[in-house]
């Protein structure tokens, strides 16, 4: 099976990259430079008409969206996911869905809005975003891994968004002890270290 992941360094596609590294599957990588507008080129739009990463090219076609790619990769790596027909799998997908549809846009508005938010607008957006991290810290995160005793692809996805806020100085250690510990734990994993090295981004 030929796999090729289109990714943007440090962006949310890092979650799919980590899943592939953890799976042990053979795959190729293609960097898409968002700053240079490569996601808007005809060549890339032919891969993903939405003009976003990640996009995973498989023998059967192209998959997009981390939620889908991670679950698909984990089909061939059962150590990365609960049994696909199980309620635990559905719970993992619920967790990943919250990260992708709720937490991701909230923190992106704080960190990546163009033009940048300022003053009261930024403070309000930050309050909304950090309340979602608080929900993960207090309720959704089971420990020691996101879904409990076993590592899953949800951990790579959570790591992406915690890495962003930790790098921005927003992941207060007293307020978010579990999430800070999770970041440290993730960065000890060889697969994560490989993904960071390949993408040229630092640990936090």
pLDDT, tens digit, for every residue of 143-191?
999 999 999 999 999 999 999 999 999 999 999 999 999 999 999 999 9
Residue pair 40/34 in contact (Cβ under 8 Å)? The answer is no
Q: Give 88-96's long-range contacts (Cβ < 8 A, gap of 24+).
A: 88/147, 91/147, 92/146, 92/147, 92/152, 92/153, 92/154, 93/67, 95/140, 95/146, 95/147, 95/154, 96/66, 96/67, 96/70, 96/153, 96/154, 96/157
Q: Please indicate, yes or no, whether residues 107 and 89 belong to a single structural domain of this protein.
A: yes
Q: Please indicate, yes or no, whether residues 64 and 86 belong to a single structural domain of this protein.
A: no
Q: Please indicate, yes or no, whether residues 153 and 102 belong to a single structural domain of this protein.
A: yes
CATH code assigned at 154:
1.20.1050.10
Q: Each residue of 62-111: pLDDT tens digit?
A: 999 999 999 999 998 999 999 999 999 999 999 999 999 999 999 999 99
Q: Spell 104-118 as b/e; 16+ CB within 10 A means b.
A: bebbbbbbeeeeebe
Q: Please indicate, yes or no, whether residues 87 and 43 belong to a single structural domain of this protein.
A: no
Residue 204 located in a structural domain:
no
Q: Please indicate, yes or no, whether residues 39 and 108 belong to a single structural domain of this protein.
A: no
Q: Please indicate, yes or no, whether residues 134 and 180 belong to a single structural domain of this protein.
A: yes
Q: Please indicate, yes or no, whether residues 93 and 145 belong to a single structural domain of this protein.
A: yes
Q: Each residue of 9-57: pLDDT tens digit?
A: 999 999 999 999 999 999 999 999 988 999 999 999 999 999 999 999 9
Residue 58 located in a structural domain:
yes
Q: Please indicate, yes or no, whether residues 54 and 67 belong to a single structural domain of this protein.
A: yes
pLDDT of residue 3 exceeding 90, the answer is yes
Q: Please indicate, yes or no, whether residues 153 and 177 belong to a single structural domain of this protein.
A: yes
36: domain range?
4-79+192-199
Query: Could you tell me the end-to-end alpha-carbon distance of the chain, in angstroms, rounded to an integer?
Result: 34
Count of Cβ atoms closer than 10 Å to residue 49 Cβ = 11
Q: Please indicate, yes or no, whether residues 61 and 93 belong to a single structural domain of this protein.
A: no
Residue 34 located in a structural domain:
yes
Enter the tokens of residue 11. 């962006």
CATH code assigned at 27:
3.40.30.10
Q: Given pLDDT bands bounded at 50, 70 and 90, which one contains residue 1?
A: low
Q: Domain total for the chain?
A: 2
Q: Please indicate, yes or no, whether residues 64 and 29 belong to a single structural domain of this protein.
A: yes
Q: Please indicate, yes or no, whether residues 75 and 93 belong to a single structural domain of this protein.
A: no
């Amino acid at each position: 099976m030929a796999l090729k992941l289109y990714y943007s360094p440090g962006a949310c596609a890092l979650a799919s990259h980590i899943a592939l590294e953890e799976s042990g599957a053979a795959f190729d990588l293609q960097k898409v430079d968002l700053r240079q507008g490569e996601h808007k080129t005809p060549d890339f739009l032919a891969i993903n008409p939405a003009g976003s990463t990640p996009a995973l090219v498989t023998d059967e076609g192209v998959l997009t969206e981390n939620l889908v790619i991670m679950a698909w990769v984990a089909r061939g790596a059962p150590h990365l996911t609960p049994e696909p027909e199980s309620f635990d799998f559905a719970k993992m997908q619920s967790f990943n869905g919250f990260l992708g549809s709720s937490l991701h846009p909230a923190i992106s508005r704080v960190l990546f809005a163009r033009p940048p938010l300022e003053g009261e607008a930024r403070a309000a957006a930050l309050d909304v975003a950090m309340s979602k991290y608080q929900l993960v810290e207090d309720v959704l995160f089971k420990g020691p891994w996101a879904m409990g005793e076993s590592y899953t692809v949800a951990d790579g996805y959570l790591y992406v968004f915690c890495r962003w806020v930790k790098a921005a100085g927003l992941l207060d250690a007293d307020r978010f002890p579990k999430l800070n510990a999770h970041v440290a734990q993730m960065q000890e994993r060889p697969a994560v270290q490989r993904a960071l090295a390949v993408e040229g981004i630092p640990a936090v």
